[in-house]
Amino acid sequence: MKEAIRQTAAPIGRVRIITLWILQVLVALAFFAAAGSKLAGAEQMVGMFDKLGFGQWLRYLTGLLEVTGAIGLFIPRYAFYAAGLLILVMAGAIFSHLTVLGGSPLPPLVLLLLSATIAYLRKLESR
């Protein structure tokens, strides 16, 4: 009986790991794209960070945090922490949209939820 359970659990575990990696790659690509526009000084990003009123240093810091988190998602040992970092960055983005920027906070909310899913699944993997 235990052998039958192990045989069914193995493919489910593999599917979960493959799904997790696909999710991590997609989220990392989204953060690389977002960071790229911030670090390259895209007009929209410069304007958005001007509106926040903290100066352009925050745009650079945010871009660097996003790149760091995106790279960390590719390193299994650090993926949980990278996802946590990205959750914090997206929480700040959501707060900024709700208080200063206006517009829809839906894109950062989706990225926050996806990052939280990665953190949760990576935490399960470490047990």
Angle at 12 between CA 9 and CA 16, to 5 degrees: 135
28: nearest Cα among 62, 60, 61, 75: 75
Cα 82 to Cα 92: distance, rounded to the nearest angstrom: 16
- In this prediction, residue 7 carries a pLDDT of 53
Cα 110 to Cα 92: distance, rounded to the nearest angstrom: 13
- Total structural domains in the chain? 1
Predicted TM-score of the model (pTM):
0.88
Domain containing 26: what range? 2-126
| pLDDT tens digit sequence for 82-123 | 999 999 999 999 999 999 999 999 999 999 999 999 999 999
| pLDDT tens digit sequence for 5-35 | 455 456 668 888 999 999 999 999 999 999 9
How many CA atoms within 13 Å lie on the side-chain side of 99? 8
